[in-house]
Amino acid sequence: MAPVTDAGTIESRVRIGVLGCGNVGAALIQLIADRGDDILARTGLRLEVTRVAVRNTAKARPVELAEGVVTHDAGGVVDDPDVDLVVEVIGGIEPARTLTLDALKAGKPVVSANKELLASMGAEIFDAADAAGVDVLFEAAVAGAIPLIRPLRESLAGERITRVMGIVNGTTNFILTRMTEDGTSYQEALAEAQSLGYAERDPTADVEGFDAGAKAAIIAMIAFGARVVAGDVYHEGISGITPADIAFARHLGYVVKLLAVVEELDGEIAVRVHPAMVPSDHPLASVRESFNAVFIEGDAVGDLMLYGRGAGGFPTASAVLGDLIDAAVNLRKGSSAHIGRLGAARIRPIDEVRSGYYLNVEVFDRPGVLAAVASVFGEHGVSIRSMEQEGLGDEARLIFITHEAYERDVAATLHDLKNLDVVGTVGSVLRVVGDH
């Protein structure tokens, strides 16, 4: 729409080296080709992909690349004087770490989609970028296409953020959506996710919360300016969730979601990933299928939610391209976004974190059982918010929702409940978040 400015000169070219040409890399190269004229019109800059590093140069790619562009020498791309700016979409720690640090040291901005790297050594990388006075941007590393890092860093720069809760793993959200809407078991829903390509053959990284944990660490760094790494994140996955849990949740007005929760509590950072019951009228409850969303609570801003595609070649490449344009404009201005040094903060252990809880307890149906069970809660200072009883022949099922309580007190309650002779089994325990 905007008119083309005087461009095409040497100064207006920004030459890009792309490390990795999988789904995201190939989609990015395609987008740069398709959108190049419009980007030139808006910014006065011509983005030009001059080098692409791939593992296997013989492999066919969905994008056309000029002779001499493709190489298997990623280090050579970083060092190439014909590369002004580096995009890293290889993933993993090495060689991505060395390549990123080398590029920054050479004064080349880096745009990264690498959550593992940022979650394990974000502070080191931010320091290297600040020392070199160039950008390291990584919108695509968390929640794919959703503008999250830039709003946290810029739009909310003056805000005191208190909590961020995210559905940041599309695979598990797809599985939980199928279990909720179709009543399928975890195993059936996982198999469906695998057949659709949403889940890996070995789904551990997704379903046990490792992927969401890395993203939680990055969110904590950006939201609170604190050094947090993936290893700091407490995580539980969804493989133990049963159709019965989901049915009880629905009956009680909740849906089950895998949440990354990041909070600042008296100067300490609590960061965790676990399944949670979310009230069905909470905005996160309506995030279905493989979509992601991040819910942000701040002192002045109130509640915000950012929703969109968390993965996929083109959505992720769109986020990379937004960063790329920003970094290219800054590079030509001789400017860069300031991240600031991350501060040290104590990571609050899960035992010291408070939450509401859902507990599903099977008891023998005899007089006095509720009093016995309730007194265990009371001994540990865990306050019951609601209880429902359901007959099961000789047995009964008691469903409790507690008020906010410390994890350690709930753990102690569970321990004592299991030792009570009127208690059969203690089923699932789920945290309850987002209640009003």
Nearer to its own copies, 320 or 399 (CB): 320
Q: Are 333 and 193 in contact (CB under 8 A)?
A: no
Choosing from 151, 203, 275, 427, the residue that interacts with its own copies (CB under 8 A) is 151
Choose the binding region for its own copies from 41-49, 239-247, 389-397, 404-412 (rule: CB under 8 A). Answer: 41-49
- Check residue 406 for interaction with its own copies (CB under 8 A): no
Q: Which of 215, 257, 333, 418 is catalytic?
A: 215
- Check residue 7 for interaction with its own copies (CB under 8 A): no
- Check residue 89 for interaction with its own copies (CB under 8 A): no
Choose the binding region for its own copies from 112-120, 166-174, 321-329, 346-354 (rule: CB under 8 A). Answer: 321-329
- Check residue 43 for interaction with its own copies (CB under 8 A): yes
Closest CA to 49 of 61, 62, 35, 33: 33
Q: Where are the alpha helices (DSSP H) in 86-182?
A: 96-105, 115-132, 149-150, 170-182
Q: Are 168 and 148 in contact (CB under 8 A)?
A: no
- Across the strands, what pairs with 88? 19, 112
Choosing from 116, 130, 326, 409, the residue that interacts with its own copies (CB under 8 A) is 326
- Check residue 343 for interaction with its own copies (CB under 8 A): yes
Q: Distance between CA atoms of 418 and 109, rounded to whole angstroms? A: 56
- Check residue 133 for interaction with its own copies (CB under 8 A): no
- Check residue 346 for interaction with its own copies (CB under 8 A): no
- Residue 95 preceded by cis peptide, ω within 30: yes
Compute the C-alpha angle 389/392/398, nearest 5°.
Answer: 25
Nearer to its own copies, 102 or 130 (CB): 130
- Check residue 338 for interaction with its own copies (CB under 8 A): yes
- Check residue 132 for interaction with its own copies (CB under 8 A): no
- Check residue 318 for interaction with its own copies (CB under 8 A): yes
15-34 positions binding its own copies, by CB under 8 A: 27, 31-32, 34
Is residue 284 classed as helix, strand or coil in its secondary structure?
Answer: helix
Q: Are 169 and 211 in contact (CB under 8 A)?
A: yes
Closest CA to 358 of 417, 303, 426, 432: 432
57-76 positions binding its own copies, by CB under 8 A: none
Closest CA to 305 of 151, 115, 139: 151
- Across the strands, what pairs with 292? 308
Choosing from 329, 370, 372, 384, the residue that interacts with its own copies (CB under 8 A) is 329
* Catalytic residue check, 257: no
417-436 positions binding its own copies, by CB under 8 A: none
Total residues interacting with its own copies, rule: CB under 8 A: 71
- Across the strands, what pairs with 14? 47
212-271 positions binding its own copies, by CB under 8 A: 224-226, 267
Choosing from 55, 72, 131, 160, the residue that interacts with its own copies (CB under 8 A) is 160
Query: Could you tell me the smallest distance in angstroms from the CB atom of residue 347 to its own copies?
Result: 13
Half-sphere exposure of 406 (CA within 13 A, CB side): 9
Q: Which residues are catalytic?
A: 215
